Copies of this chain bind each other. A is one copy, B any other.
């Protein structure tokens, strides 16, 4: 490796680890996402023509159009989407990241997270709730619609008001602490949700003076499950990764994403181009009554967490994941240790108690992946063919996207 690349990667890593994500607001997507329009549906992964979307991701896009009132029924939505009168685009192109199918419509509230160290902003919309039937798992029906409206009309306005009263909630201190409490901030966010709730609590109590009911419901939504805080974690990770994007000559990964066709990465020094490969094998633990044959891919950008040193890269912080996605503490430690071979360094803030507070492996280098053959490990939710979540597990990123990125890097920079 030439000193140019080494220097560029050091700078890229510094920007990534120096990020200070602060939740500053909650607003409808149309008000804050750059380039968002009333007739745009965002979805996970590199954008494709609507005709290329299949299965759950296609169903989710159609569901998004219906939820937003852009079509009277699924047939009309399909037609308008095919004609381009309803537009489809990738979340990343609008500063956002999507969970699973990752559907954003104009009216959906989003977390607005500012990186106070870099000035850039990342966004993520809200967790739909504990019901496994969710729009982002490819399901749209009256129940899904009601739960989405509940987020729009009850949960998000209360959280938004509390966040504005707080003057902003610094997320990094919450994330640091949650890693000491059994979370890895991708598939487990239990502690982070409680810590987040604690930060908002004085303001929520103040709001309760005008009537406790909507506040009680909102607190319930924040703390009932492992996943509420994930969307804050994702928005923080997006703001963090974007701060490290665009460093000339840097070979570190700044985004990873699934769509229904495959897995893709972006690289700091290689612009907005995506480098794609196939889907990968998954070690899954399925909910009772489901089988491997049902597993399907409908997108996912929550792996932005792994991109900045969380999730699979901090798995040894989250032994409770044994009961959710399988594995053993020993396997988690081994997998976590292996990932140090493919990163630029050890995170100064995200530390893992089981590894004697060693910083999590952070900043995936495409060349180290290509050279070692150690593939990034990611903690993900698993979708079923018929929609809904059917389990969780660990996937490995496929090699071809790293090889393609390494080739493009050499083309652009030579052997820098």
A interface residue numbers (CB < 8 A to B): 180-182, 190-191, 194-195, 197-198, 201-202, 204-206, 208-209, 211-212, 215-216, 219-220, 223, 319-320, 322-323, 328-329, 353-357
Docked CA distance A354–B332 (Å): 10
Q: Name the residue of chain B whose CB is nearest to the CB of A214.
A: B205
Q: How far is the CA of A320 from the CA of B319 in the complex (A)?
A: 14
Indicate which residue in B212, B319, B353 contacts A206 across the interface (CB closer than 8 Å).
B212
A219 and B205 within 8 A (CB): yes
A216 touches which one: B180, B190, B202 (CB < 8 A)? Answer: B202
A219 with B195: CB separation less than 8 A:
no
Which residue on B lies nearest to A211, using beta carbons? Answer: B209
Q: Quick one: copies of this chain in the complex?
A: 2
The reply to whether A322 and B205 form a contact with Cβ atoms under 8 Å apart is no
Cα A329 to Cα B181 in complex, Å, equals 14
In the bound complex, CA of A197 to CA of B357 (Å): 27
Pick the contact of A181: B181, B202, B209 (CB < 8 A).
B181
Note all chain B residues with C-beta closer than 8 A to A354: 319, 329, 354
Q: In the assembled complex, how far is the CB of residue A182 from the closest CB belonging to chain B, in whole angstroms?
A: 4
Cα(A216)–Cα(B207), bound, Å: 12
User: A211 — which chain B residues lie within 8 A by C-beta?
Assistant: 209
Give the contacting residue for A353; candidates B180, B182, B191, B215; CB below 8 A.
B182
Q: Which of B181, B328, B356 contacts A356 (CB 8 A)?
A: B328
For A180, the closest partner residue in chain B by CB is: B320
Question: Which residue of chain B has the shortest Cβ distance to A320 in the bound complex?
Answer: B180
Q: Is the CB of B212 within 8 A of A212?
A: no
Nearest 9 pairs between A and B by C-beta?
A319-B353, A194-B194, A208-B208, A205-B212, A205-B208, A181-B182, A180-B320, A181-B181, A202-B216
A177 nearest CB neighbor, chain B only: B190
Q: Are B205 and A216 in contact (CB under 8 A)?
A: yes
* A320 CB contacts on chain B under 8 angstroms: 180-181, 353
Q: How far is the CA of A323 from the CA of B353 in the complex (A)?
A: 9
